[in-house]
Structure 1
Amino acid sequence: MTVGASEQSGAEPTVRLAAGALRGTREAGTTVFRGIPFAEPPVGPLRFAAPRPVREWDGVRAAESYGPPPPQGGHFGMDALARDVEGDAWLTVNVWSPDPGPGAGLPVMVWIQGGAYTIGMSGLPEYDGGRLAREGGVLVVTFNYRVGLEGFGQFEGAPANRGLLDQVAALEWVRDNIRDFGGDPDRVTVFGQSAGAGSVAALLAMPRAAGLFGRAVAQSVQGTFFSPELAADIATACAAELGLGPTVADLSTVDPALLSAAGDAVGAKMGQWAQRWGHVAHRSIVFSPVVEGDALPVTPWQALADGAGRGIELLVGHTRDETRLLTALDGLLGQVTQEQAATALDVFGPGPDGARRYRDGFPDAGPDKLYELVLSDCLFRMPSLHLAEAQTSAGGRAYVYELTWPAPGMEGVLGACHGLDVPLVFGNLDRGQPAALIGEGPPPEGEVLSARMRAAWTAFATTGDPGWPAYDAGQRLVRLFDTRPAVTAYPEELSRLIWQNHDFPVLPLLGGR
């Protein structure tokens, strides 16, 4: 970072990169730069293209506000939030640094937000990296990547996995520029949650991402990876909502908001495609990374089992009650019928005898418990555990955790639910949508737990050791995050046994409709 005399007297910090100069802000003990372009806007002739390097600019560019988010699906009003910010420079990064010195060489933590590959923007208040950077002595980087049809639609004439290619481009920007902000490009950790953790897993399997990070944190890995045929069939249905074909020629001039709305329309009626699209139709999972043999050659589990992550340290885990929040949002909390539980076991259980194994393994569980168990295991818990097991089976190092602290917000009914880890890891317990899980006025035990998780995450980014033993196939030791910290054998043993022979394959296009 270039520090001038005016900065030493308290003026805004500036930094000069190869592309041009930036002016940031100072906030609560950190230096912050927001809305830095890492690629050209993917619009006009670049619509649905792989990201292109950003062009140089003249003068000093203000880096004080988040860049405009990429087009969003309508979940949680994210489409309206996106429309509130004008501009098409969707691909930007944000940097929080506790040290303005260019030679500080601090560890770098690069966050990849989730949102089912349908929504997600780095400018949400829950992703403010100030506290994590300031108290952890690390640089925190967040960024936007294309989601929905813009990022993951399988179109003729467009490269697959454009959202993942955006992520690679952001990591290349970190490699080339982070030293000027006081970071060490050789000590980069990627971390993400839900679809962000699925993205972290995908990056572990992508040859183009090799060498861009040395450590990875995957929080509640979304385990869905599509075949090209499945992704193309879903994209065809989305384009048909607009009376168009799934091609760049047809779609490149369509208003991005209309394209997002078409994806939402298909998601709202995916149940009718269950015989063709499989279990993702039952959960309205419209988009996922595509294992197309080029950018993403194989699934993350196969890649790690083959040794792709042997030189990368991995921290991976999940919450105990992953899908309870999702069940509540569906209006089914405490209302699951025997028939709904039976359908969930048949659809989401592993193999033809999965339903029987759940009923035998949990004989006292009612329909609500069985429904929650099989969905949590299929969508998040077992994909996360199997990532660690694939890593260790090939001689790599993995650390595993489970968040078991029940969320005190929402009258305490949600348990340790999906997304609870986000405010705890960032330390933003009183802002953003996930903070509602903790409730007004974060309880003291929440602050203590957040401090423990932040310390573990930043220690891992700094040293490669989060503070508990590495996972192995013998003891299977994991760290439990609760009011009382503990290290114990993996607590979801019955689920582990039910899923132990499942390999999380590429999801195919099925016959019928």
Structure 2
Amino acid sequence: MNYFLLSLLVPLTVVGTAAVGTVDNNNNQVGRRVGTTSGFVAGHPAPNASQVSEYLGIPYAKPPVGQLRFAPPVAYVNPSGRVDGSNFSPDCPANTLPISSVDLTGFPENARNIFLMLDQVGHNQSEDCLSLNVWTKSKPGQKKPVLLWLYGGSYQVGTSHASVSSGQHLADKEDVVVVSINYRLNIFGFPGLPGHPQNVGLQDQRLAVEWVRDNIAAFGGDPGRITLVGQSAGASSADFYSYAYTSDPIVSGFILQSGTATAFGITQHDNLAAWWTTSTNLGCGAQGAVALAASLSCVRGKPFTDVLAAAGLAPANANFLGAFAPTIDETLVFSDYGARSLAGNFIQAPVLVGNADYEAGFLGLVAPAYYASLSPADRTAYNLVYFECPTAKAAFVRALHGVPTWRYRWFGQYPNTYLFPGSGAWHESEIGFVFGTMEEMTKMANVPVENEVQQYMMSAWAGFAHKPKTALAELGWPKYNATKQTLIRLGSGNETAASFAFPSTFDNACISAGQSTGLSLRGDEDEFL
């Protein structure tokens, strides 16, 4: 896999018996044992927020190995078992770069630390990776809302074990429960075989949401207030979810950061060409030489490391993503988002949607040679086609149907977000402000104004989880209207709170580039394709 394609981007022992939700007697004890459908989970104080209970590596699905490789997830149910929640589970298999092949010469120390975190350096990988993590602060009283995080990474890489998305500070300061999950990636999550289950990585996400619904009350969370929040591929996943589960939403709100259902131009109905390349490279047979079922059986029998390496040699699809990515199955990913959008056929829950001012700056860190080869016009097109214009469309269609909608644009540039001259407010750079983790990710102190912006954004995201329909309005943010001054600017200049702009200030470039913002919609579903 080419790294620039990043879209950014527990052992168990059976004992006793107990009902789900059973806990240690002292409900205010940090790290108290919690009973779940996966077993009794032992927590511990979060490393940088000692009053927060941190529970890591909780299995929500059986290990997807053997016949379960490439198959839909199967719930892990072992309520009488025990889970040691002291460590993250391994990452799901991902074609990250060998750090020895990376030249970070010339980048500042903070940028190198960001890269090492993104490249999952020092992490183990295993197919036994379908786990989730919970951060919660023991506090008597009403149940707390839940923020459920989906990571990005072009569906090729990514992990819930990332310093930038630790939920400890949000849980500590904002009275929310934070959950992050692992889900399968690349060929393991998106094999894309005709006649076989597709998009099993997206099915992992749904199973994790169901686990949270069934178990989060035991951690002090409110199963009736779950906000699904993701960035890049994680945001696209959340938006896919909004169209796929209209009859049983579970979640009560969405936060989409630099990603939507239409952002990355998914047009393929299968990944068959990439599969046969992988099968051939593994010695499992070429197309026309063996039956697909025989190839599948053979690939299932290979070590995951060999499968991952062979899949990494397959040519990428003609879109932003890699060779193995979501495919149109008309169940979880659709071919007719235009028609569905016009009909309002999506979960009509409140949404906060936005993008960074200069998404392309990210490429200068993860693929500097590729970035240098792009003309200024190419970089602008990258920003518009994958982020700016799809964000505008997603906000427009929600507002069109009366869904409480807010749209932001991230401008933050500070010493510890600086990558290189002109890197700007790059793709992913807002995540550390949402989670309050900039210093831990960059290993560089925030400047005072940055601390204020970080706290402001933490409060906004958490406020949305508390009251999706009203909290942002109470903060003074206007609901989105494409023709009014309702675009929320965050981190602009030395501003420590939001300011507001006309969407057309940025969206007119979409029209000039032949991209739709939805504003000219006249019953034409092609506006959303």
Q: Report if TM-score (shorter chain) is over 0.5.
A: yes
Equivalent in the alignment of 1:456 = 460
Equivalent in the alignment of 1:500 = 516
**SS of structure 1 residue aligned to 2:192:** coil
Q: 1:149 to 1:209 in 2, by over 3 A?
A: farther
- Match status 1:170 vs 2:208: yes
> Contact 1:68/1:89 (CA < 8 Å) preserved in 2?
yes
Amino acid at match of 2:218: D
Among candidates 89, 96, 104, match of residue 135 of structure 2: 96
**SS of structure 2 residue aligned to 1:323:** helix
Deviation at 1:406, TM superposition (A): 2.3
> Contact 2:137/2:175 (CA < 8 Å) preserved in 1?
yes
| Deviation string, structure 1 residues 48-85 (Cα, Å, up to 9, x no partner) | 11011113154432111111221111247599959853
Aligned length: 458
Q: 1:225 to 1:54 in 2, by over 3 A?
A: farther
- Match status 1:481 vs 2:490: yes
- Match status 1:313 vs 2:350: yes
Amino acid at match of 1:238: T
> Contact 2:274/2:311 (CA < 8 Å) preserved in 1?
no
Q: Calculate the TM-score normalised by the size of structure 2.
A: 0.79
Amino acid at match of 1:419: E
Equivalent in the alignment of 2:44 = 25
Amino acid at match of 1:295: L
Q: Which structure 2 residues correspond to residues 61-460 of structure 1 after superposition, within 5 A?
A: 61-75=83-97, 84-85=123-124, 88-99=127-138, 104-156=142-194, 158-207=196-245, 210-221=248-259, 223-229=263-269, 231-244=271-284, 247-266=295-314, 270=316, 277-278=317-318, 280=319, 285-298=322-335, 302-309=339-346, 311-332=348-369, 335-336=372-373, 367-368=375-376, 370-408=377-415, 409-432=418-441, 435=442, 440-460=444-464
Amino acid at match of 1:416: A
Deviation at 1:265, TM superposition (A): 2.0
> Contact 1:320/1:402 (CA < 8 Å) preserved in 2?
yes
Distance in 1 between residues matched to 2:56 and 2:169, nearest whole Å: 16
Gaps of 5+ in 1: 271-276, 341-366, 507-513
**SS of structure 2 residue aligned to 1:265:** coil
Amino acid at match of 1:91: L
> Contact 1:12/1:24 (CA < 8 Å) preserved in 2?
yes
Deviation at 1:309, TM superposition (A): 3.5
**SS of structure 2 residue aligned to 1:431:** helix
**SS of structure 1 residue aligned to 2:37:** coil
Amino acid at match of 1:94: N
Amino acid at match of 1:36: I
Q: 1:251 to 1:209 in 2, by over 3 A?
A: farther
> Contact 2:37/2:79 (CA < 8 Å) preserved in 1?
no
Amino acid at match of 2:516: Q
Amino acid at match of 1:196: G
Q: 1:236 to 1:379 in 2, by over 3 A?
A: farther
**SS of structure 2 residue aligned to 1:402:** strand
Amino acid at match of 2:508: L
**SS of structure 2 residue aligned to 1:237:** helix
Deviation at 1:161, TM superposition (A): 0.5
Distance in 1 between residues matched to 2:30 and 2:52, nearest whole Å: 14
Q: Calculate the TM-score normalised by the size of structure 1.
A: 0.82
**SS of structure 1 residue aligned to 2:380:** helix
Deviation at 1:447, TM superposition (A): 1.5
Distance in 2 between residues matched to 1:7 and 1:396, nearest whole Å: 38
> Contact 1:204/1:309 (CA < 8 Å) preserved in 2?
yes
Amino acid at match of 1:68: P
Distance in 2 between residues matched to 1:19 and 1:218, nearest whole Å: 29
**SS of structure 2 residue aligned to 1:118:** coil
Amino acid at match of 2:360: T
Amino acid at match of 1:65: N
| Deviation string, structure 1 residues 142-183 (Cα, Å, up to 9, x no partner) | 010000100012125531111100000000001111111111
| Deviation string, structure 1 residues 64-121 (Cα, Å, up to 9, x no partner) | 11112211112475999598537543111111111255x6311000000001100111
Q: 1:242 to 1:60 in 2, by over 3 A?
A: closer
Deviation at 1:301, TM superposition (A): 5.5
| Deviation string, structure 1 residues 7-59 (Cα, Å, up to 9, x no partner) | 76x57411112342221112221111111111111111211110111131544
> Contact 1:291/1:299 (CA < 8 Å) preserved in 2?
no
